[in-house]
Copies of this chain bind each other. A is one copy, B any other.
Amino acid sequence: MLHRRNPQLNANGELIHLLSIEGLPQAVLTQILDTASTFLSVNDREVKKVPLLRGKSVFNLFFENSTRTRTTFEIAAKRLSADVINLDIAKSSASKGESLLDTIANLSAMHADMFVVRHSESGAPHLIAQHCAPHVHVVNAGDGRHAHPTQGLLDMYTIRHFKRDFTQLSVAVVGDIVHSRVARSDIHGLSILGVPDIRAVGPKTLVPSDLREMGVRVCHDMAEGIRGADVIIMLRLQNERMSGALLPSASEFYKSYGLTPHKLALASPDAIVMHPGPINRGVEIDSTVADGRQSVILPQVTFGIAVRMAVMSTIAGNAA
């Protein structure tokens, strides 16, 4: 594995696809965050467009439905002046029995420049990146339980915006970690950016124990998990992903791991509270906290557009 080049980087070490945060050099992450910062001001301008992707065709390939995520990519691409084509793949060729790779080969032949891929199977974006034409760039918009790298990057952006220095932080990731591609991407990002104290907090059934090998502290007790934390990342309880009875009930989960003002008081007084959304009020987070002064959930959304613009313009500018 050591000798194989990271498939996301070209021979010069430049990012050509964004498939996973895992394995990316710190410099690449930092460059994306710096670029995103320049786009934040674009989004505040009267005319929010820049011509960086003018004439480029960006295809949103959502094999798994997600209006919210698709929308953020669509906005980001349009603000870069790209032409955006939304394909609801679930309803189309797939139903005619065409294989994933045949679909991709066809879309590449239409001179696509970028595929933004959401898929229920882990690894699908990698497969696509391996097989698509060399002029096409791939962004993973969430694959199975594997990764959601743009969410991870926007979380890193948010933390840097509010906390500046990664190297002094305690960050707690709380909830259903085992099913969460967001948690996975966040932990890789935090680790690469030098966060010394990363905690994974949740019940035994929802926190994979092998996280310890990544230098993560696993806490099954919420109080222990968030005590003194500078950043608390609450995860969405993925009801729709859970099969079987891993959890007793939503209300029991809330009692143990839901973020209430009472529990939040255990964290650092200026701790920030994050959540990838959409939030389940009263399940993983109390409304007082979600809407409170420490919540940065809406800034996350704003930063998410800028980060996606940064990712798309960065990879589009680097040749395979």
Contacts and interface: CB of A to CB of B under 8 A. Distances in A.
Interface of A: 43-49, 54-57, 65-68, 71-72, 74-75, 78-79, 83, 85, 87-89, 91-93, 96-99, 102-103, 105-111, 240, 277-281, 298-299, 301-302, 304-305
B110 A301 contact: yes
B83 A299 contact: no
A99 B281 contact: yes
Given A47-B55, A55-B46, A302 B111 contact: yes
Contacts of A72: 110
A240 B109 CA distance: 26
7 contacts: A48-B57, A57-B79, A68-B92, A71-B85, A75-B110, A106-B277, A111-B305
Contact of A301 (B43, B71, B91, B106): B106
Contacts of A278: 93, 96-98, 102-103, 106
A217 to B, nearest CB: 30
B109 A299 contact: yes
A109 B301 contact: yes
Nearest to A90: B67
Contacts of A109: 298-299, 301-302
User: Interface centre among A45, A83, A88, by most B CB within 10 Å?
Assistant: A83
A305 B277 CA distance: 36
Contacts of A105: 298
Contacts of A68: 92-93, 106
A299 B110 CA distance: 9
Nearest to A47: B55
A67 B92 contact: yes
A269 to B, nearest CB: 25
Nearest to A97: B280
Contacts of A71: 85, 87, 107, 110
Given A57-B79, A71-B107, A75-B111, 9 more contacts: A46-B55, A47-B55, A65-B91, A68-B93, A96-B240, A98-B278, A102-B277, A111-B302, A111-B305
B93 A67 contact: yes
Nearest to A50: B55
Contacts of A83: 49, 75, 78-79
A83 B80 CA distance: 11
A101 to B, nearest CB: 10
Nearest to A40: B111
Contacts of A97: 278, 280
Closest 9 pairs between A and B when the two form their complex, measured CB to CB: A67-B92, A47-B55, A109-B301, A98-B278, A109-B298, A78-B83, A48-B55, A49-B55, A43-B111
A116 to B, nearest CB: 15
Given A55-B48, A93-B278, A298 B67 contact: no
